[in-house]
Amino acid sequence: MNKAKVTAPEGVPYVVIERDFDAPKDKVFTAMTRPELVAKWWVGPGYKVRVDKLEARDGGAWKFVQTDEKGQEWSFHGSYHTVSPDMIIQTFEFDGLPEPGHVALEKMTLTEKDGRTRMRVNATYMTQEDRDGMMASGMEGGMQNTYDQLDKVLADMAAMA
């Protein structure tokens, strides 16, 4: 079972995430950039996701809205700086904070070896407090869950190929 390794180094406003996937890079990239596929895996126990916007290109924007069984909604949005199968660079903001403007810069690289793909995300925060707040929010557990769902989407894609 693949598992995400999340590192939050002391004293610098970064989070590093590494995760392997049992699928080639182009499949992982496709699962991350097609709205109908993201809708299947950006989810967790008791909540779904509605992909309001996913313009997977340099200068595009994205907005994902998670919804629970009671109809509560919370959303995330950002802009794409770079989108290629090797590298996605984007901004990321959780829209539920008391004030807007707490934005992260995320750089994701995908590298393939022997048909498997290693994802590496470097997330950079505007303040140490923003980084620590993100870590304290339970993002790590939520992320483990979503990547497990992504594994299933990738398995389905392989079965259909």
Residues in contact with a copy of itself by CB under 8 A are 11-13, 53, 55, 58-61, 78-82, 87, 89, 91, 93, 100-101, 103-105, 107, 122, 124-126, 128
Q: How far is the CB of 8 from a copy of itself (least distance, A)?
A: 15
Q: Which is nearer to a copy of itself, 64 or 80 (CB)?
A: 80
Q: Which region, left, alpha or beta, applies to residue 66 given φ > 0 means left and ψ of -120 to 50 means alpha?
A: beta
Q: Which is nearer to a copy of itself, 39 or 89 (CB)?
A: 89
What secondary structure does DSSP assign to 10-27, as a single string?
Answer: TTSSEEEEEEEESS-HHH
Q: How far apart are CA 7 and CA 49, in angstroms?
A: 26
Residues 85 and 73 sit within 8 Å (Cβ to Cβ):
no
Q: Which is nearer to a copy of itself, 12 or 158 (CB)?
A: 12
Give me 44's structure tokens.
């967790």
Q: Which is nearer to a copy of itself, 71 or 100 (CB)?
A: 100
Q: How far is the CB of 12 from a copy of itself (least distance, A)?
A: 7
